[in-house]
Amino acid sequence: MQNKFYFFLLKAIAILLGWLLVFYIWGEPVGGLDDQMTEITVKATQKLFEASGTPVASKWFTPKATDEERRPMQLLIVNGVESVKVGNRCNGLFTMVIYAGFIIAYPGSWRSKVLFIPMGILLIFISNIIRIGVLALHWIHYRSSFDFNHKYTYTFIVYSVVCLLWMWWINKYSFLATSQNATSANSEV
């Protein structure tokens, strides 16, 4: 069992390093994959507000040199009020990659992985656009507690979704689930 863990760990590290290599070549340059994912995330958040009848807009801007984030970001304008700034660290792309990398590295059938990974990525994406929408409203109505909730509460919720998806994967589709099913089938005979 210890060898399986080390093999999983090595595969996970290799996937992460491979992703970082790909990301720094195609994802990070301005206009690259990361900026495109931010654009998609903001547009989806706008659709969420529009579905509730709330007027919403967004615009790209470049933060001041003194800001922590120096890359172009999008400002979400809800009901005419400037709210959250959505940067590349907010688009959920890295979270989706970590989620998918874990599933790929963990032993289990490729058929279930091909089905489970896109479903999980979609759930992460939806939870992230809900997070951004709620953060925008939080900024407008409860600005004094925004920083705490942005850094901890809403981040905890999104990562809880990821952990629940991982637990679901391990218990239902991984080699553990298939070996437990085989063991219980053999004991019933």
For 11-20, what is each residue's pLDDT tens digit?
888 988 888 8
Contact 34, 93 (CB under 8 A): yes
Query: From CA 136, how far away is CA 116, in angstroms rounded?
Result: 30
Instruction: Specify the pLDDT at position 132.
Output: 96
Lowest mean pLDDT among 7-11, 55-59, 68-72, 105-109: 68-72
Q: Residue 76 domain-assigned?
A: no
What is the percentage of the chain residues whose pLDDT exceeds 90? 48
Distance CA 172, CA 108 (A): 10
Q: What does the angle CA 39 – CA 43 – CA 48 come to, to the nearest 5 degrees?
A: 150
* H or E element, residue 83: strand 81-86
**Tokens at 10, concatenated:** 């090595």
51, part of any domain: yes
pLDDT at 54: 94
Q: Is the pLDDT of residue 69 over 70?
A: no
User: Quick one: tokens of 131?
Assistant: 């997070």
Contact present, 99 and 119 (Cβ < 8 Å)? no
Full residue range of the structural domain in which residue 33 is found: 2-55+88-177
For the chain, the domain total comes to 1
Quick one: angle between helices 33-51 and 110-141, nearest 10? 60
Query: What is the pLDDT, as a whole number, of residue 189?
Result: 52
Give me the percent of the chain exceeding a pLDDT of 70. Answer: 86
Q: Is residue 73 part of a domain?
A: no
Residue 65 is predicted with a pLDDT of: 66
Let me know if residue 80 belongs to a domain.
no
Q: What is the pLDDT of residue 29?
A: 64
* Burial class of residue 169 (count of CB atoms within 10 Å of its CB; 0-12, 13-18, 19+): buried
Q: What local confidence, expressed as pLDDT, does residue 66 receive?
A: 61
Domain assignment of residue 74, yes or no = no
Q: Is the pLDDT of residue 30 over 70?
A: no
C-alpha span between 188 and 105 (Å, rounded): 31
Q: How far is CA 153 from the centre of its chain?
A: 15
Domain assignment present for 16: yes
82 in a domain, yes or no?
Answer: no
Residue 64 lies in a domain: no
Report the distance separating Cα 74 and Cα 91, nearest Å.
11
pTM reported for the whole predicted model: 0.83
pLDDT of residue 150 exceeding 80: yes
> What is the tens place of the pLDDT at every residue in 90-141?
899 989 999 999 999 888 888 889 999 999 999 999 999 999 999 999 999 9
